[in-house]
Structure 1
Amino acid sequence: MAFDTISLSALSNPLNIVLFLVLLLLVREFQASETNLQLPAHPPEPIVLKRYTPQTLLPYTGEKSNPILVSILNRVYDVSRGAQFYGPGGPYSSFAGRDASRCLAKVSFADDLLADPSGPIDKLEDLDGDEWQTLRDWATQFEFKYDHVGFLVENGEDLDA
């Protein structure tokens, strides 16, 4: 008898009815979202990190079915999912297949800031504190947004090491 009195008084309060309906909707939504979760058909292939020299990086511009690779701080990233930016005709296309560290540090698109691919890797020794911070910010963005696929090493170094 006491249970009937409690349930009737609970249902007589409109706020309790609204809260009960919200709770039911939340439970239903949670159950629906659990059933919609689908695992991929197969896990993605693991990325095997490769070594690139400035010269071997050059072809990776998104042309001729090649992926688009960009190096920052001697780490090479596959930026193909950002082809509208780094691919042919994109605003950052001059960075494709190159070490873009100095340009990104100086927030510049000037081609003369790109190191000569036949020369040594730019050591960036003359960057000031603000430029280093800008470059680190770019590197962090690339690390989270794009796949790290390798390392930039000096021309002439063994790529299989």
Structure 2
Amino acid sequence: MEYTSQSALHFPAAYAPISEDEMIYLDGGDAISPQQFTFNLVTNLIRLMGQAAFSGALNGLSNMRNDGLTTGGAIAHYWNRQNTMGKVATVVFTGFAGYAVYIYCVSLVNNVLNLYTSAKNSITGADQTTTDTTAAASSDPTTAATAALTAA
């Protein structure tokens, strides 16, 4: 490949320059259905809100513990100072936080299982066959969680 610039080009280690002619062979993103897009959007939004609620709750408990309250006292203090809408929002965001923790745990377990399977296959020299479980585990955690729920 010929470069038109006279200065020395510094590319990252994983950079692979290709000519314009070769770019026609590269595919972009795959088409996604509106239903799948909406499902991914809602699932990721719930996961993000859950992560924010979980970290906010931990920070709040940590601050209250630093102020001298026990964990039970901090939770009682927070709950008793809420009005009805605040309590409803707390329960909803606790559900979001629980979902975020669930997705994190499913992702962690799937990653450990994939590492174990890869190590076992490399030691035994077994063929690398993909099953529905490993395919779901290797994709994003939301898909893995959905596959786990539908399999149960």
TM-score range, shorter chain: under 0.3
Higher RCO structure, 1 or 2 (CA under 8 Å, sep 6+): 1
Structure (1/2) with the larger strand percentage: 1
Greater gyration radius: 1
Tell me the TM-score normalised to structure 1 length. Answer: 0.20
TM-score (norm 2): 0.21
More helix by share: 2
